[in-house]
Amino acid sequence: DTGISSGEIGPGDSFSVSPVIFNDATEEMYVFVEIQMPEYTDSSLPESGDSLLYTFDVNEEWTLVESGNGTVVYAYGRADMTALQPGESTSSLTTQMTMKSITHAEYADIDDINITITGYAMGTEGMSTIPTDAWNECKTIGNIQ
């Protein structure tokens, strides 16, 4: 929750956001953050020029494991997953998001400018340490589409 209403943000505006995951379980976990963002039709791109509405810089402790259809997923770790110990928090995925500078016509065509951020966690025992493989295992375990 950024505390900003949809009427307070427009093309080119930035806002603070700090998604972190806290491990309140009794065992170490591998964790992921999924961000669902609206897309818009970029008039400067070819016909299928849909683009994500928001941009952000990702903390170096996170790795992109999936991207498509307005959704990006990051794993906590680099070449190998980082196990999050009980009682610990991840670093923030990012500290700021920016709505792309788009035309008023492009902005008017967007029905919903909301962002949904979801955290996922799974135990580490017997799981792959490779971020992409670990995410695929998490999706299977959690029946995540």
Task: Confirm whether pTM is higher than 0.85.
Answer: yes
Q: Please name the residues in contact with 36: beta carbons below 8 A apart, sequence gap of 6 or more.
A: 70, 71, 115, 116, 117, 118
What per-residue confidence (pLDDT) applies to 88?
97
The DSSP string of 7-23 is GG--TT-EEE-----B-
Region of 65 (left: φ > 0; alpha: ψ -120 to 50; beta: rest) is: alpha
* 39 pLDDT more than 90: no
3-class secondary structure, 39: strand
Q: Please name the residues in contact with 49: beta carbons below 8 A apart, sequence gap of 6 or more.
A: 41, 42, 43
Q: What angle do CA 6, 8, 9 make, to 5 degrees?
A: 75
Q: Please name the residues in contact with 121: beta carbons below 8 A apart, sequence gap of 6 or more.
A: 21, 23, 25, 29, 30, 31, 32, 84
What per-residue confidence (pLDDT) applies to 109?
82
* 62 pLDDT more than 90: yes
* 140 pLDDT more than 90: yes
* 7 pLDDT more than 70: no
User: Do 49 and 42 contact (CB within 8 A), yes or no?
Assistant: yes
The CA distance from 33 to 93, in Å, is 8
Q: What angle do CA 101, 33, 57 make, to 5 degrees?
A: 35
